[in-house]
Structure 1
Amino acid sequence: MTGPAPDPTLTAPPPDLALALELADLSDAVTRSRFRARDLRVDRKPDRTPVTDADLAVEQAVRTAWRARPRDRIAGEEGGGAITDRRTWVVDPIDGTKNFLRGVPVWATSLALVEDGRPTVGVVSAPALRRRWWAAAGHGAWAREDRGTARLHVSGVDRLEAAYLSTTSLSTWDLFHSRAAYLRLADACWEDRGFGDFLQHCLVAEGLIDIAAEPVVSPWDVAAVQVIVEEAGGRCTGLRGENVLGAGGGALSANPHLHGQAVALLNP
């Protein structure tokens, strides 16, 4: 990430981005109030993944606010819905629910607008980290932290042996793609870590790491980070280089020098 710079989207953001930023503020207020709450309620969904009362409250608040735009569709992790040919807002109320319920501060709300199958607006807000990332097609990618606002650019690393790689969970590679494929990529890279979920893709956009790969995602997991990575000059696709929102599988974010090299190793 480059040094702090004025952000033109702060003074006159495109209307859709302005709405997404407002909804991120609304979501942050809900999640902050429930993070590390002693009475946090946790249930299990049919796929055995956890859902907290905060997940449900955030998505309900966002869906209520979006009723002002009846012509737009909405798809969310907890409330359902699908991306259609119409403008579709996609929401992941808490990306990193396992961290949230354990009190680990690495979680975020992700909000995106998808038009004609591609995200055109994305906001990822991580209030416990005091960080927020956002982008709109043609307006660049940006991040805000305590030091100010900065425009994002992916790294210029062009060799895998110098690349920094991240994934979410090694065990999921056995279930959804191939552990051997991921280890092949990891062995080719300089270093690998498990930053996980939204954070690894945002770090690719900041140029702090070079590749983020995960074998299984849902649209609400990647819609926002896709536009952020792409507006930062990177590529965010499925593991085979296909459209990540229609891949029905994993996600691969990388700078343009390394993306094709990573695809080749993940799919020999």
Structure 2
Amino acid sequence: MADFHDDLRLAHVLADQADATTMARFKALDLKVETKPDMTPVSEADKAAEELIRTALRRSRPRDAVMGEEYGLEGVGPRRWVVDPIDGTKNYVRGVPVWATLIALMTPGEQGYEPVVGVVSAPALSRRWWAVKGGGAYTGRSLSQATRLRVSSVNTIADASFAYSSLKGWDDRGRLDSFLHLSRDCWRTRAYGDFWPYMMVAEGTVDVCAEPELSLWDMAANAIVVEEAGGRFTGLDGRRGPHSGNAAASNGLLHEQLLDYLGD
């Protein structure tokens, strides 16, 4: 198996630089925010963080391709970095601290491109999570000060904590009844939103989570952290990985039950 620890260390350096950029503009009264064609917001900090990461990767990994939310795909190499400069931009622009920079490295695998490194950095929460293929998932202040992540052992939906982002997405896709059915059958539901439910699944503080519409950059880093913590990450169609345009994540024990409620 290839060793990706040098890439993991680089991803941490990239996350450190992005954190400095995003935190410098967080809650700034003169923050510039635009509306993209899909009617979602983008701030000057989103653009600056992605530009910074791309510039660093051109210098340190010139043969690798880079895909980012704000500037698309650049390069054609077999290794592909996938970046969401601020996952949770709506929170960011309103001063809510639940947002993160997501950085993943993907390489060709048995099912197409698969994430082999993932870093999720939430500086306003003073939290960071990361994983490398075959090396486990961790959280902490640095590589040397880290705690290994493990998913929960809850094995019934009636005892499960279910996290999500919003009701509207499920309603827009005609799946609200199924969503509410699951919510009623669970022990607890909370709308933490964006990257955070996936990190909670990896930590074992949440047992299942799902979202009906996502992009690759929303999922790549989250997927490897969940899997390396012992959980499962698929689309609502049950296909492993971050390629289905939506997501279902669990501690593994509850995954088929989760898909019974919300799966395609």
TM-score (norm 2): 0.92
- Cα distance, 1:84 vs structure 2: 7.2
Separation (CA, whole Å) in 2 of partners of 1:150 and 1:110: 19
Letter in 2 for 1:114: M
Are the equivalent residues in 1 in contact too, given 2:161–2:189 (CA < 8 A)?
yes
Q: Counterparts of 1:45-56 in structure 2 under 5 Å? A: 45-56=36-47
Q: Counterparts of 1:97-136 in structure 2 under 5 Å? A: 97-116=89-108, 117-136=113-132
State the SS of the aligned residue for 1:90: strand
Q: Which runs of 5+ in 2 are unaligned?
A: none
Q: Which runs of 4+ in 1 moved over 6 A?
A: 82-85
Letter in 2 for 1:70: P
1:16 is aligned to: 7
State the SS of the aligned residue for 1:101: helix
| Equivalent residue in structure 1 for 2:227, among 216, 221, 230 | 230
The size of the alignment, in residue pairs, is 255
1:195 is aligned to: 192
What do you get for the CA RMSD once the two structures are aligned? Answer: 1.9
Q: Counterparts of 1:161-176 in structure 2 under 5 Å? A: 161-176=158-173
Q: Which runs of 5+ in 1 are unaligned?
A: 1-11
The answer to whether structure 1 residue 157 and structure 2 residue 149 are counterparts is: no
Letter in 2 for 1:122: G
Letter in 1 for 2:67: A
Q: Name which structure has the greater RCO, CA cutoff 8 Å, separation 6+.
A: 1
2:259 is aligned to: 263
Separation (CA, whole Å) in 2 of partners of 1:87 and 1:159: 39
Separation (CA, whole Å) in 1 of partners of 2:173 and 2:96: 26
Separation (CA, whole Å) in 1 of partners of 2:243 and 2:105: 15
State the SS of the aligned residue for 1:213: strand
Separation (CA, whole Å) in 2 of partners of 1:222 and 1:195: 16
Are the equivalent residues in 1 in contact too, given 2:4–2:117 (CA < 8 A)?
no
Are the equivalent residues in 2 in contact too, given 1:236–1:252 (CA < 8 A)?
yes
- Cα distance, 1:177 vs structure 2: 5.4
Are the equivalent residues in 2 in contact too, given 1:121–1:227 (CA < 8 A)?
yes
Q: Deviations over 1:179-233 (max 9, x none)?
A: 1121122122111110111000000000001011111110000100100000000
TM-score (norm 1): 0.91
Q: Deviations over 1:10-66 (max 9, x none)?
A: xx9811101101100010010110001111000000000000000000000001001
1:216 is aligned to: 213
